[in-house]
């Protein structure tokens, strides 16, 4: 039987109109061990049947000394779990969760360039991986985060990744906006594009390379399409790893 623990919600940050960051403090003493890219499963009081109460969320922060777990969650209209999280969870709420799990993690040593493709809250596991690499000085090649969303107001962690792109030569950051007429005209290190996320990697990686590893995270339509596109471009199965949210 999986071990269930309790955590206290210590902070909630409204990241965009539809997305919140939840900071959980495990109550069972000490930090929770996890590998960046893993998720935790919450048991929410939304159904009588146990399995129908479970919702998984990627851990969005890197392992850190404060031991908090950050989740980045988008509200789904009519979604049972997210309606509960957005409307009934507040500071000091107690949430039941199952220990971190999942195999959407980086293979060490990191020998190939990493291309991290996501839309919306699919960025969560990548944020954990990226911060861990720089926090721990883990040897790596280039890291390219490609984030897709509708408008500038929907971008998650924009300032943070823009700062990182300015500071770290090995990190580059592309933001693809599908419903924005005009792209920001700024002097940031963000590579702004108009359109869907797919165009971004199709253009940047059209010349087949052995030394690149793609990771894709998000909802089914985007993940399936990106995986099929990359394989259609000639990339090998082992070069494309995916995490499906639903």
Ligand X SMILES: Cc1cc2nc3c(=O)[nH]c(=O)nc-3n(C[C@H](O)[C@H](O)[C@H](O)COP(=O)(O)OP(=O)(O)OC[C@H]3O[C@@H](n4cnc5c(N)ncnc54)[C@H](O)[C@@H]3O)c2cc1C
Burial of 102 (0-12, 13-18, 19+ CB in 10 A): middle
62 interacts with ligand X by CB under 6 A: no
- Strand, coil or helix: what is 193? strand
For the CB of residue 243, give the shortest distance to ligand X in the complex, in Å: 6
Q: For ligand X, give the closer residue by CB, 128 or 176.
A: 128
The window from 28-36, 52-60, 88-96, 146-154 that contacts ligand X (CB under 6 A) reads: 52-60
- Strand, coil or helix: what is 116? strand
Q: For ligand X, give the closer residue by CB, 118 or 200.
A: 118
What value, to the nearest 5°, has the Cα angle with vertex 92 and ends 91 and 97? 105
Considering only residues 20, 21, 55, 140, which one is a binding residue for ligand X as defined by CB under 6 A? 55
124 interacts with ligand X by CB under 6 A: yes
149 interacts with ligand X by CB under 6 A: no
Q: How far apart are CA 227 and CA 233, in angstroms?
A: 10
Considering only residues 81, 100, 132, 215, which one is a binding residue for ligand X as defined by CB under 6 A? 81
In this structure, are residues 31 and 63 in contact, taking their beta carbons and an 8 Å threshold? yes
Read off the tokens for 52: 């129908």
For the CB of residue 125, give the shortest distance to ligand X in the complex, in Å: 7
Considering only residues 22, 36, 61, 82, which one is a binding residue for ligand X as defined by CB under 6 A? 82
Q: For ligand X, give the closer residue by CB, 9 or 73.
A: 73
* CB proximity list for 27: less than 8 A, separation 6 or greater: 5, 6, 7, 8, 94
Considering only residues 10, 80, 162, 204, which one is a binding residue for ligand X as defined by CB under 6 A? 80
Q: How far apart are CA 55 and CA 69, in angstroms?
A: 15
Phi-psi region of 143 (alpha: psi -120 to 50; beta: other; left: phi over 0): beta
39 interacts with ligand X by CB under 6 A: yes
Per-residue interface string for the shown chain with ligand X, residues 194-233, x marking contact by CB under 6 A: -------------------------x--------------
Read off the tokens for 8: 């206290």
Using CB under 6 A, list all residues that contact ligand X. 39, 55-58, 72-74, 76, 79-82, 102, 121, 124, 219, 245-246
């Amino acid at each position: 039987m999986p071990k269930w623990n309790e955590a206290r919600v210590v902070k909630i940050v409204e990241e965009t109109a539809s997305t919140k960051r939840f900071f959980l403090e495990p109550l069972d003493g000490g930090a929770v061990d996890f590998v960046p890219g893993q998720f935790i499963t919450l048991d929410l009081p939304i159904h009588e049947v146990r399995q129908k109460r479970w919702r998984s969320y990627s851990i969005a922060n890197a392992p850190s000394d404060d031991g908090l777990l950050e989740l980045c969650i988008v509200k789904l209209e009519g979604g049972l779990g997210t309606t509960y999280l957005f409307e009934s969870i507040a500071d000091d709420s107690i949430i039941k969760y199952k220990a971190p799990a999942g195999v959407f993690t980086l293979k060490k040593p990191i020998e190939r360039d990493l291309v991290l493709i996501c839309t919306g809250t699919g960025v969560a596991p990548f944020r954990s991986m990226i911060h861990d690499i720089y926090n721990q000085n883990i040897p790596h090649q280039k890291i390219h985060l490609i984030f897709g969303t509708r408008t500038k107001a929907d971008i998650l962690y924009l300032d943070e990744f823009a700062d990182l792109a300015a500071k770290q030569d090995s990190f580059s950051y592309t933001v693809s906006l599908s419903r924005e007429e005009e792209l920001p005209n700024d002097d940031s290190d963000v590579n702004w594009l108009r359109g869907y996320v797919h165009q971004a990697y199709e253009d940047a990686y059209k010349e087949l390379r052995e030394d690149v590893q793609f990771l894709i995270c998000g909802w089914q339509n985007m993940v399936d399409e990106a995986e099929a596109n990359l394989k259609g471009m000639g990339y090998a199965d082992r070069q494309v790893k995916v995490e499906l949210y639903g």
